[in-house]
Every structure is written in C-alpha cells, then in structure tokens.
Amino acid sequence: MLSKLFILFKSGVKSRQHELFLGSCILLIAVISYNLGQINSLKKTPVSVRESAGLNADLFDAVKSNPPAQRDSLNKVEPQKLDTRVVVSKNSDKYHYSWCSGAKRIKSENQIWFSSAQEAESRGYVLAGNCN
C-alpha cells in the first residue's frame, strides 16, 4: 500500500517537474528579495537639505556655504513660537501652551485662556511637565 502511494507520488512529481522547479525558483527569489529589503531598511541615510519656497533663503545659503564646525552656531537658534497664549483647565493648577498635547485634551467648557505664561503664573498656575 505504502509503495503504491510512493510510486503515485513519484510519477506525479516527475510529470510536473518543470512547474515545481519554476515555482520553487519564484519562491526563493521572493524570500531573497524580502530579506534584502529588510537589510536595506536598516541602513541610515543622511538627511539632505533642499531649498524650497517655505525655507528662508538667507538661512539656506548660510547652511549651504558654512562648513559643519561653523553650523553649530546656527543649530543653537531655537524656533520662536508665534502663539504665546496659554490655557488652563478649571480643574487643574497647570497651564499649557496652545500647541501642547495637554492643551488639546482640555474640554472647551473647562478652558481658561491667558495671553501669556507670565499672566498664568501670576495667577498661581505652573507649567505642565509635558509642555516645554
């Protein structure tokens, strides 16, 4: 019984030998391609700076023309936040800048707005830890 089953399997493999070889080649190529993609995703690629319409042309020229040692002074410039308003919750003693995630979680009916952080601090509020 077992020998008849083996003979039947062997004749099936022989008759489809070409298709089985082609399928195993395609499967092998797919596995190799996947693994090469995984290896390639681990490589760190350098960040490039390109001029765009929204980028200040003077800053772009300064970064482009200065060597890396001189660029350190450019990196120390912190971006200015245009919206200086802060918000507090009626149920808290912490204030949040409008761009902070904590400010977005305060329900609108519980919001109290101040024009600056100094105004909120003068009323006894302190800066929230997740808002810097």
pLDDT digits (tens, 9 = 90+) for 13-45: 888 889 989 999 999 999 999 998 888 877 766
Nearest CA to 62 among 14, 70, 54? Answer: 70
> Is 66 among the domain residues?
no
pLDDT tens column, 50-102? 655 555 556 666 656 655 555 555 555 555 557 788 999 998 889 998 888 88
Range of the structural domain that residue 122 is part of:
86-127
Q: How many folded domains does the chain comprise?
A: 1
> Is 122 among the domain residues?
yes
Let me know: does 9 contact 23? Beta carbons within 8 Å.
no
> Is 107 among the domain residues?
yes
> Is 69 among the domain residues?
no
What is the reported pTM? 0.39
DSSP states along 22-33: HHHHHHHHHHHH
Q: How many residues does the chain have?
A: 132
> Is 8 among the domain residues?
no
